[in-house]
């Protein structure tokens, strides 16, 4: 940094702000930033992360652990968190757990050994003990998508219950009363809340959700197994007039199962899904969803974590944010009277 400052005739502090991604925060001109970055590239300079960590006590890295980075929701969240972290001079180490406790535990240990400054975590079942260790070691972390029972921690989650209630009410208002619910076997908070939202909304309409009208599939099953399970469920429930998929990848497989059963949306059966997906917008008809505000979830989570990292005394003061989903009504769930008219 001394060499760069000397050659460009600027202060070492200015160079430091540029190198550490704080140029915008410190109102350094775009021209100066460009000069510094061009010279760094020209000279092939690399910031010494070990020296920086010894000097500041910070590695400027964050661990991001999600369920499945290939999933539309988690992949989009990761992309935004990475973008926002880079703006603040941080790098991201990210990986997937596939909802496996042992994988999650090992990832936390490996990232701790790499001296990450904090974590954004989608928790798996059984991860409570690891959360307790992080708190004991004063390592900041933020939970996203789901909570861990008995752990007071900062979090950014969706109001899954409210979203499921509203999506179910949409179907009921449009005349659908024989609703099938398709989810995964899970006792994680987000799936529990979605199921409860559907059951309660039907109960308020004096409709009982029977076990026969629910299908819960083990997490991690093969694509073909999921499609066949949904296909058999639909065949075994010929009276259903609507399907509610609890997450987007089940919705994608469910649409294929409907096609294999030669059923058309919405003339034969209406479809809604919790979570959006690019595919849902492009299908004909497009699919009605409870969309998660991904940008808001990702931005809030990294902002909270950086606040905790930069304010050590406040790490034991959990910050909670609950965000409401947006119901996007599309062509897969029109009023039943309209369907009959078209038919």
287 in a structural domain: yes
- pTM of the complete model beyond 0.85: no
* Tokens (6 digits) for 244: 């509610």
Residue range of the domain that includes 26: 2-47
Same domain, yes or no, for 170 and 142? no
Same domain, 275 and 169: yes
Residues 212 and 334 in one domain: yes
**155 found inside a domain:** yes
Helix, strand, coil share (%) of the chain residues, nearest 5: 50, 15, 35
262 in a structural domain: yes
Q: Are residues 278 and 165 in the same domain?
A: yes
Whether the Cβ atoms of residue 61 and residue 91 lie closer than 8 Å to each other: yes
- Report CA torsion sign: 178, 179, 185, 189: negative
Give the C-alpha separation, 73 to 303, whole Å: 19
54 found inside a domain: no
Residue 269 sits in a domain whose CATH number is 3.40.50.2300
Domain count, the chain: 3
What is the chain's Cα-based Rg?
24
Q: Are residues 134 and 164 in the same domain?
A: no
Q: Other C-beta atoms within 10 Å of 300: how many?
A: 20
Residues 145 and 253 in one domain: no
Any domain includes 52: no
Q: Are residues 279 and 168 in the same domain?
A: yes
Residues 257 and 189 in one domain: yes
In a shared domain, residues 270 and 165: yes
| pLDDT at 283 (0 to 100) | 94
In a domain, 53, yes or no: no
Q: pLDDT digit of tens for each residue in the chain (343 aa)?
A: 888 888 889 998 898 888 777 788 788 898 998 998 888 888 777 665 545 554 555 678 999 999 888 888 888 999 999 999 988 889 999 888 888 889 989 999 999 888 899 999 988 888 888 989 998 888 999 999 888 888 888 999 999 999 999 999 999 999 999 999 999 998 888 899 999 999 999 999 999 999 999 999 998 889 999 999 999 999 999 999 999 999 999 999 999 999 999 999 999 999 999 999 889 999 999 999 999 999 999 999 999 999 998 886 555 678 888 999 999 999 999 998 866 544 4
Which alpha helices (H) appear in the chain, and where do they start and end?
2-8, 12-19, 30-43, 49-56, 72-87, 101-113, 128-136, 160-173, 189-204, 223-236, 248-260, 278-282, 294-310, 336-342
| CATH number, position 16 | 1.10.260
Task: Specify if 122 maps to a domain.
Answer: yes
154 shares a domain with 77: yes
332 and 200 share a domain? yes
* CA pair distance 56, 37, nearest whole angstrom: 22
For residue 46 the two structure tokens come to 């690399």
């Amino acid at each position: 940094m001394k060499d760069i400052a000397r050659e460009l005739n600027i202060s070492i502090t200015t160079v430091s702000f540029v190198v550490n991604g704080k140029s915008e925060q410190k109102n350094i001109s775009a021209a100066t930033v460009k000069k510094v970055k061009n010279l760094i590239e020209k000279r092939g300079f690399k910031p010494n992360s070990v020296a920086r960590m010894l000097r500041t006590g910070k590695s400027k890295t964050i661990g991001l652990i999600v369920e499945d980075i290939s999933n539309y929701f988690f992949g989009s969240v990761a992309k935004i968190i990475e973008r926002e972290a880079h703006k603040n001079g941080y790098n991201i180490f990210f990986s997937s757990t596939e909802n496996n406790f042992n994988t999650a535990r090992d990832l936390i240990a490996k990232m701790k050994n790499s001296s990450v400054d904090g974590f954004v975590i989608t928790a798996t079942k059984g991860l409570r003990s690891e959360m307790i260790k992080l708190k004991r070691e004063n390592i900041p972390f933020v939970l996203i998508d789901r909570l861990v029972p008995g752990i007071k921690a900062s979090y950014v989650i969706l109001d899954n219950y409210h979203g499921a209630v509203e999506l179910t009410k949409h179907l009921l208002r449009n005349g659908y009363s024989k609703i099938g619910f398709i989810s995964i076997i899970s006792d994680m908070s987000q799936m529990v809340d979605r199921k409860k939202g559907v059951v309660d909304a039907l109960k308020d309409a004096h409709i009982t959700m029977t076990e026969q009208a629910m299908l819960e599939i083990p997490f991690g099953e093969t694509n073909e197994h999921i499609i066949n399970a949904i296909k058999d469920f639909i065949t075994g429930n010929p009276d259903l007039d609507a399907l509610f998929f609890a997450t987007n990848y089940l919705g994608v497989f469910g649409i294929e199962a409907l096609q294999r059963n030669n059923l058309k949306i919405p003339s034969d059966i209406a479809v809604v899904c919790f979570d959006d997906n690019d595919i849902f917008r492009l299908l004909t008809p497009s699919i009605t969803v409870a969309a998660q505000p991904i940008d808001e979830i990702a931005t809030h989570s990294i902002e909270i974590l950086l606040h905790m990292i930069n304010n050590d005394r406040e790490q034991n003061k959990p910050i909670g944010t609950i965000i409401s989903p947006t119901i996007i009504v599309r062509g897969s769930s029109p009023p039943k009277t309209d369907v009959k008219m078209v038919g």
